[in-house]
Chain A
Amino acid sequence: MTVQADVGFLEAPDAQRSKQELDLKRFLVQLGLSLLIFLVAVAACFLLSPYAPNEPNFLERLSPPSASHWLGTDQLGRDVAARLLYGGVWSIGLAFLVTIVGAIAGTAIGLAAGHFGRAADVTLMRVTDSFFAFPELIAAVTIAGVLGPSTTNMVLALILVGWMKFARLVRSLSVDLAHRDFVVQARLNGLPSYRILWRHILPNIAPSLLVLWTNAWSRTILSISGLSFLGFGVQSPNAEWGAMLLDGKAYMQTAPHLMIFPGLAILIAVLSINLTGDRLRDLLGSNGAAAG
């Protein structure tokens, strides 16, 4: 009896853990399925839409939503729905690109700071702190503006202002991990440091990194549309959501649909990524939010 009770006691955390893993798996399956449905729907829209995003039609300028133009047309008679569809590629896709590059650069710098001695640590973290000292949006506006407003320069600016939080998170987590038994043992076994970093440190950091990355992704969508709305990012006639808002602003009184739908698209995209990130954070039990 006592033996069984003991085993039950020992099993309890395991059972809890496997339930958590099951929850995580179920969530990932749900996420994958919804993404698939979403992508199929978007692809269908691309294939079936009779309108091109930059095709003007001067007979149908500023027409309100109707059966032939579900979300209306803009000041040049371009279909708003088609433009929103292509705009999503700019807003969401560019943000994806920017945060992936930032995450890779930040992770590399964070790992280097955490593992290549004190001099490297102090130097790299001082540099990180210096970059961190600039408010993100102000730095992005300045860099993009000084280089000349364009999509490339905006992407450059956002990468320059976006990598530091990854570096900080990775550094602090990997310093904590460096003293754990399995890392110490790996080192005593004579594993080269790149192998320790790749096989032992990185997989343990990955969950927190993923949570931070979803957070950064949604914030970058807001920054990209914000910069484009202010005229520092994607330029008209490209159908980025923020740029569409900027174009639509002038027709607020006569054609309010021009500024309602792009804003709604930003809101929905950012909200979905945020909620997914929140759920991931709960399921992974990570501390990624601490550095966000």
Chain B
Amino acid sequence: MLNTRSKVVAFILALGRRLTGLLCVLFGVSLITFTMTYFAPGDKASAIANARYPDVQGFPPEILDGIREEFSLNEPFFVQFFQWLYRFVQGDFGNSFASNTPVWDIFVANAAETFSLTATALVLGLVLAFALSSIAVWRPGSLFDRASVALASVGAAMPNYWLGLLLILLFAAQLNWLPAYGTGSPSHLVLPALTLAFWITASQTRLLRAFFLEAKAAPYIETLRLRGVSETEIFWRHIFRHAAVPALTMIGLDIASLLEGAVIVELTFARGGIGSLLAGSVLSRDYPMVLFLVLFSAVVYVFINSMIEFLQEIMDPRNSVWSHQQAVPSGEARS
């Protein structure tokens, strides 16, 4: 039996190990990203020159040499990498080749678009998934239940760019209710948000249904029912609360991949945002922009994933600092 104090120490040690691992991964991520742009085909100096002076054809070697000097492109790989990393860690993300304005400013200008899209889609998708799955488990095997399972299966196989096109065809081209492309008014947000929300609904309905069914099958639920506790109370106070812990994990994973969905949806609907910014800068070889966006998405992804793992560890009663049970090592089996 461990006492509370040594548990706190173990907890802090576990946190420290986790942070070290996180730092290693972040270093690896930045090394991979930088390597990719470093070895990308094509002359970087002329890429920069082309982006700066889009109207000029062919550059004299002096200008290219000047650019190489300015961006220290002649230095060896690791010198360039650590110079870049040093500035990056300090918050100096460099200027975009294309517009010669700071990468950060362009990012901030586009982030709001993506945030409003993903947040709307997330809320909408989760509300729908919750409604569907909670009605479905009311009577497992009923027509509604099977329909929701079918919807979830189809939704998982549905390419979201195609769903977007179908929505445009129906609501914009045929019915003329909503604008198809572009950004601006809230009505521009409806179709893209629906497209992205459908994906969340599909993946979460299936999982939530499974979690609800599992929680419902616990023997104590039957006991509560025999004691005369109302079905509403059983659902909200017991089934819902038990399903919430695994559900939070899966929702976290979906939040992490929302950014991927946003790339496709933004390009399908010709919206502004981080996704279309990434596609544009990749194609125009705007490397500082690409480096920043890829690293940003990786950091968000890593951060959310380790938050989830950490929360799981805290919520697992076996690992609890305050519980009076003996801590059971739960190492590899879960990974």
Contact = CB atoms under 8 A, between A and B. Distances in A.
Contact of B36 (A146, A148, A149, A249): A146
B158 to A, nearest CB: 6
Given A139-B294, A146-B290, A242-B161, 14 more contacts: A127-B28, A129-B28, A134-B301, A138-B278, A142-B290, A145-B282, A146-B37, A226-B159, A229-B264, A245-B165, A260-B166, A263-B162, A271-B157, A274-B157
Given A175-B332, A249-B165, A267-B158, A133 B29 contact: yes
Given A249-B165, A267-B158, A271-B153, A135 B257 contact: yes
Interface residues of A, number: 47
B154 interface: yes
B333 A229 contact: no
11 contacts: A133-B28, A134-B301, A138-B297, A141-B278, A145-B282, A149-B283, A176-B332, A176-B333, A229-B268, A230-B263, A266-B162
Interface in B264-305: 264, 267-268, 278-279, 282-283, 285, 290, 293-294, 297-298, 301-302
B157 A267 contact: yes
Most buried by A among B40, B156, B165, B173: B165
Interface stretch (A73-81, A82-90, A185-193, A251-259): A251-259
Given A145-B279, A176-B333, A267-B154, A245 B162 contact: yes
Contacts of A2: none
Interface of A: 126-127, 129-131, 133-139, 141-143, 145-149, 168, 172, 175-176, 218, 222, 225-226, 229-230, 232, 242, 245, 249, 252-253, 256, 259-260, 262-263, 266-267, 270-271, 274-275
A267 B150 CA distance: 13
A137 B264 contact: yes
Contacts of A275: 153
A145 B283 contact: yes
How many of chain B's residues touch chain A, expressed as a range?
35 or more
Contacts, number: 135
B25 A225 contact: no
Contact of A126 (B25, B37, B156, B158): B25
Interface string B313-333: 000000000000000000011
B278 to A, nearest CB: 7
B36 A142 contact: yes
A129 B25 contact: yes
Contact of B173 (A146, A148, A252, A262): A252
Most buried by B among A134, A218, A232: A134
Contacts of B301: 133-135
B168 interface: yes
A168 B332 CA distance: 11
A159 to B, nearest CB: 14
B214 interface: no
Most buried by B among A134, A135, A218, A253: A135
Interface string B11-41: 0000000000100111011011000110011
A247 to B, nearest CB: 12
B256 interface: yes
B41 A230 contact: no
A266 B161 CA distance: 11
Contacts of B278: 138, 141-142
A152 to B, nearest CB: 13
B159 A136 contact: no
B169 interface: yes
Most buried by A among B41, B162, B168, B335: B162
Contacts of B156: 270, 274
B92 interface: no
Given A175-B332, A218-B157, A226 B264 contact: yes
A135 B294 CA distance: 9
A291 B301 CA distance: 16
A219 to B, nearest CB: 9
A141 B259 CA distance: 13
Nearest to A230: B267
Contacts of A256: 169
Contacts of B298: 133-135
Given A138-B297, A230-B264, A275-B153, A126 B24 contact: yes
Contact of A141 (B25, B263, B302): B263
B260 interface: yes
